[in-house]
Amino acid sequence: MGAREGASSVDGGSDERKDDASSSVTTEVRRLRRALHDRGRARTLRARAFAYDFILKERLGRGVSVKRRLVHAKLRDCLRALETWQSRAGRLEVDLERALAEDDAKSLQIIEGDITRVLAEFEAYLEEREVLEDLPKSVTGGDVSVPDAANESRSTLELMRCVREDENVADDAVRLDAVCERLRELETDDGWRGKLLAEVDGAAAAHGWSSENFSYGSTPFSSWIELFVRCPELKIRAQTLATDGLAYVVFGSSAGWLVFYGAFALGASSRGFEILRTLHDAATSARAEIDPEWKDSVNIEFNHADMLSASLENVGLIVLTSLCWDDDVHEAACAKLDAELFSGAFVIDYGDKLAAFESFTTVTDDPIRLPVSWGASQRFYIFKKVA
Ligand SMILES: C[S@@+](CC[C@H](N)C(=O)[O-])C[C@H]1O[C@@H](n2cnc3c(N)ncnc32)[C@H](O)[C@@H]1O
């Protein structure tokens, strides 16, 4: 017994030492991640690109002009710099993830050196190309910022009342706020973003698609609800999904945002299909955190799957988050809807490829432009399956 005790205490000791070592690797990875992201370059560049996009679409008139050309060049510089940053930081994130998984303290020193070098090189790149230099106000027509969208100051409850008036609406607004709060926290977590970046390269290689096909983005509830306000036919379809026993589906559901909107605001059975594990896990863990008292009453299903394998049976409304998809991925999704979606179903798409199909008709004369996380004036197209 004594010997056993001795043996077990030695084992226990080595386990503790291992735990200490791995917790020091975890702490060190956290520190390096902070160093990598502390300057918030991706955030700044995204905000700038967002603002230049807004200036082009909403402030400067159509047609060719010197002002448009200058703003366009700035937008392109910001997007290029963002892409450069994402690929450099993404590579380092992959290394950090690997060090964490292999519990490898030694490689962290090399990664630290790489981070210092990449940060210095990137600052030099921004300076050399004057990416963050302001254009004169006479060109941009005011500050390089985006005014708040009309809906942004309205509460979730007020917005939800645009599509429903039943007595449970207030409770569902509180629930949706809680889920969105949780997802927003996650979005700003560098560790989580790093894990996501690290997964994208592998997924792109595995499927033969570009890394952009897996870009992260989110659409605010205020924009999503505005689609129903601006398109009454869509609103009627959405309001009757639950009573008609039809589902609301999101292709490319990301961390679950649009699925939660549908479940809480429309009360419809809501399903998401997302190919990236990190995003799928974020959605399911946000779902699991829903208060146990009401989680069973909400009909939400998240599928970690290629959307092209989804069943479209009994689907009354589907969202294609196609903005970043490769052309062949978007085309395959459209062909699937052409072949499988029932006549009478509606589609919200971030692109207009369905216009080429005779089985679909556009429901609004012009696309609806609304702010999303990657641009101030994203076009949304509403289609109806007619054959
Ligand atoms: C622009 S993002 C989604 C935006 C988001 N849902 C929103 O709230 O605006 C597009 C998503 O499609 C996913 N995706 C790309 N190809 C896919 C596929 N074949 N099957 C499922 N998801 C896919 C990407 O991983 C990415 O998360």
209-218 pLDDT tens trace: 999 999 998 9
Distance CA 288, CA 342 (A): 32
Q: What is the predicted pLDDT for the residue at 23? A: 72
Q: What are the structure tokens assigned to 65, written together? A: 């002009």
Q: Say if ligand 1 is within 6 A of residue 274 CB.
A: yes
Q: What is the pLDDT of residues 302-344, one digit of tens each?
A: 999 999 999 999 999 999 999 999 999 999 999 999 999 999 9
Please state, rounded to an integer, the average pLDDT across all residues of the chain. 88
Q: With a 6 A CB cut-off, is 316 part of the ligand 1 pocket?
A: no
Length of the chain: 387
Given this model, what pLDDT does residue 10 score?
A: 29
How many Å apart are CA 103 and CA 347, to the nearest integer? 46
**C-alpha triplet 175, 181, 186: angle, nearest 5°:** 135
The residue from 125, 146, 167 where one domain ends is 146
Stronger pLDDT, 229 or 149, i.e. the higher one: 229
Distance between CA atoms of residues 323 and 373, nearest Å: 12
pTM equals 0.75
- Split at pLDDT 50, 70, 90, the class of 149 is low
Q: How far apart are CA 213 and CA 276, in angstroms?
A: 11
Are 355 and 209 in a shared domain? yes
At 3 the pLDDT is 32
- Residue 86, pLDDT above cutoff 90: no
Give the Cα separation of 293 and 196 in Å (integer). 31
Is 327 found in the same domain as 205? yes
Pocket test residue of 276, 303, 306, 378 for ligand 1, highest count of atoms within 8 A of CB: 276
**323 CA → ligand 1 middle, Å:** 9
Decide whether any atom of ligand 1 lies within 6 Å of the 348 Cβ.
no
Q: What is the band of 147 on the pLDDT scale with cuts at 50, 70, 90?
A: low
Between CA 258 and CA 264 the distance in angstroms is: 10
pLDDT reported for residue 144: 76
* Same domain (yes/no): 153, 137: no
Give the type of residue at 176.
Answer: L
The CATH number given to whatever domain includes residue 323 is: 3.40.50.150
Say yes or no: CB of residue 224 within 6 Å of ligand 1.
no
Question: Is the beta carbon of 219 within 6 A of some atom in ligand 1?
Answer: yes
Residues 181, 140 within the same domain: no
Q: Are both 110 and 206 inside the same structural domain?
A: no
Q: What are phi and psi of 381, to 5 degrees?
A: -115, 135
Residues 323/326/331/332 CA torsion (nearest 10 deg) = -120
* Atom in ligand 1 nearest the alpha carbon of residue 308: 19
Lowest mean pLDDT among 63-77, 112-126, 260-274, 323-337: 63-77
Rg over CA atoms, the chain: 24
From residue 294, how far is each of 91, 126, 386 by CA, in Å? 41, 49, 37
Spatial separation of the C-alpha atoms in residues 32 and 43, rounded to whole Å: 18
Q: Does the beta carbon of 331 lie inside 6 Å of ligand 1?
A: no
Query: 146, 173, 206: which is the final residue of a domain?
Result: 146
The yes-or-no verdict on residue 370 having pLDDT over 80 is: yes
With cut-offs at 50, 70 and 90, classify the pLDDT of residue 1. very low
* Distance from the first to the final alpha carbon of the chain: 79
User: Identity (one letter) of the amino acid at 81?
Assistant: A
User: Which domain does 31 fall in, by range?
Assistant: 2-146
Distance 150 CA to ligand 1 centre (A): 26
215 lines ligand 1 (CB under 6 A): yes
Does residue 258 have a pLDDT over 90? yes
Q: Are residues 183 and 112 both part of a single domain? A: no
On whether both 142 and 236 belong to a single domain, the answer is: no
Hey, is 216 helix, strand or coil?
coil
Ligand 1 centroid to 253 CA: how many Å?
6
Can you give the pLDDT at residue 146?
66
Do residues 14 and 97 lie in contact, with contact meaning Cβ atoms separated by under 8 Å? no
Contact present, 362 and 382 (Cβ < 8 Å): yes
Are 155 and 70 in the same domain?
A: no
276 and 355 together in one domain = yes
Torsion angle (degrees, nearest 10) of CA 225, 227, 233, 238: -40
Same domain flag for 131 and 235: no
Specify whether 192 is located in the same domain as 333: yes
Domain-ending residue, one of 118, 146, 174: 146
User: 146: helix, coil or strand?
Assistant: coil
Q: Give the DSSP H or E segment for 379.
A: strand 375-385
DSSP helix/strand/coil, 381? strand
For atom 5 of ligand 1, the residue with the nearest CA is 218
Residue-wise pLDDT tens digits, 41-54:
888 888 888 889 88
Tell whether 223 and 275 lie within a shared domain: yes
Of 60-69, 100-109, 291-300, minimum mean pLDDT range: 291-300
Q: Per the structure, how many domains does the chain have?
A: 2
